[in-house]
Every structure is written in C-alpha cells, then in structure tokens.
Amino acid sequence: MQVLDDITELNLAVELLRRKARVSIVHHETGVSRPKLRILYRELHGRGAPSGQLSAIGGATIQTRLQQVHAGLFAALYEHYAGPAISRQLDIRAVIAAHDFYVSLVLQEPLVDFNGAWVIARDLRVGMSELRSCDVCEVRYLISSESRLAPTCPFCVLHARRGGLGEPRLVLPAVLAQPLDDTDTAALSRG
Ligand SMILES: [Zn+2]
C-alpha cells in the first residue's frame, strides 16, 4: 500500500499548502521532502514559501483579549472535531476542519491564520494551553501559560470593558425565552 500511502500524504500536503501552512509544519505532518514542498508551494501560490522560524510559543503570540477570543473559538472548534484526545495527539485533519470553519465564521480578517491554528493545537497537546469554561458567562475560552494576559475569561473582560452592566450570562433574553408561536411547527406536523 506504499503508493496509496504516498498519494494520501501528498494530497494532505497540498491541502495544507493551499492554506499557506509553513513548509516545516507540512513536512512534520506528511513526511514529504522539504524541496518538493517548496516547489508545490510555488506552484500553488506563484511565489516562494516564506522562511523563518515559526513561533516557538503559541501563547506568547496571544497579546490582546480579542486575539484570545479568536484563538479560543478555533480551539473550541478543534476540540469539537478532534475530541478529548487533543491533549495526547495533534489531529491535523481536525486542525484543517476547525480552521476552515473558524475562517467561515469570522467575517473580517481572521486573527488566527493556519499556522497559528497549528501552534494552538500543538500547545493544547503539550499542555501549554488549555480550554476552560467560564463560571460566570459559561463560554469556553482558551488560556496559554506563556501569554502575558491574565488567565481569565476574555468575554467577561470585553463585556465589562464595553460598559456591560452586570455579568454576561448565556441566558436567553426574556423575549426569546417565551414559547414560540407554533404556526411553523404546526405546519410541519400537518405536512
Ligand atoms: Zn466569562
């Protein structure tokens, strides 16, 4: 099955390079040689792959609460796809799925590029980052041991900073908590 394995690895490498993953990451994940990856990168993007070191410590790159929110959104999606094994292994296909979903949700410029996503997944595996649930607003958020930010919930901080009164809570506003008008569901059950 060696040929099939090679094709699978090459396809994965192309999927990663399309997302502008660093050659070092793609080589690590697929075993495809670096020269071949550089050629592929140039064919896909019309210019050479960027060189230089990848951030050694993901948490250190999370410098603002908004970045922490974005990183946490990616991490929660990644956890959803990869399951509880994220602290034991890096699931590269789950990184791809979660990052694609993250980019589709974020309407402005994403704050976490694919390489940042891979670093977050790696930090979750080695225990330098973790997802916690906020006791106050009940949202999952990411903390990193190397971040200069206090290891607290970014949603509560941003809520307070923007003049939010009281504590943010994941409770439906009263108007939405009312039983819905039943015409839609009635139509469904009739249909
Ligand atoms: Zn909170």
pLDDT of residue 120: 93
User: What are the domain boundaries of the chain?
Assistant: 2-45, 59-161
CA of 89 to the centre of ligand 1 (A): 28
pLDDT digits (tens, 9 = 90+) for 43-81: 999 999 988 766 655 677 788 999 999 999 999 999 999
From the list 57, 59, 50, the residue with the least C-alpha distance to 20 is 50
Helix (H, G, I), strand (E, B) or coil at 131: strand
> How many Å lie between the centroid of ligand 1 and the Cα of residue 76?
15
C-alpha of residue 124 to centroid of ligand 1, in Å: 20
Neighbours of 106 (CB within 10 A): 14
> From the CA of 80, how far away is ligand 1's center (Å)?
20
Which of 132, 133, 134 has the alpha carbon at shortest distance from 144?
A: 132
Cα distance between residue 66 and residue 79, in whole Å: 20
The rounded Å distance from CA 82 to ligand 1 centre is 24
Which residues, 6+ apart, have CB-to-CB distance to 159 below 8 Å?
137, 167, 168
> What kind and span of H or E run contains 27?
helix 23-30
Protein residues with C-beta less than 5 angstroms from the ion ligand 1: 134, 136-137, 153, 155-156
In the reported structure, the alpha carbon of residue 97 is separated from the centroid of ligand 1 by a whole-number distance in angstroms of 26
Q: For 103-147, what is each residue's pLDDT tens digit?
A: 999 877 889 999 999 999 999 999 999 999 999 988 899 999 888
CB contact at 8 A, 144 and 62 = yes
pLDDT digits (tens, 9 = 90+) for 75-99: 999 999 999 889 999 999 999 999 9
pLDDT, one tens digit per residue, over 153-165 is 999 998 888 776 6
pLDDT at 95: 97
Q: Is the pLDDT of residue 151 over 50?
A: yes
pLDDT greater at residue 60 or residue 36: 36
Ligand 1 centroid – CA 86 distance (Å): 23
Cα-to-centroid distance, 140 and ligand 1 (Å): 8
For helices 65-82 and 114-126, the axis angle rounded to 10 degrees is 70
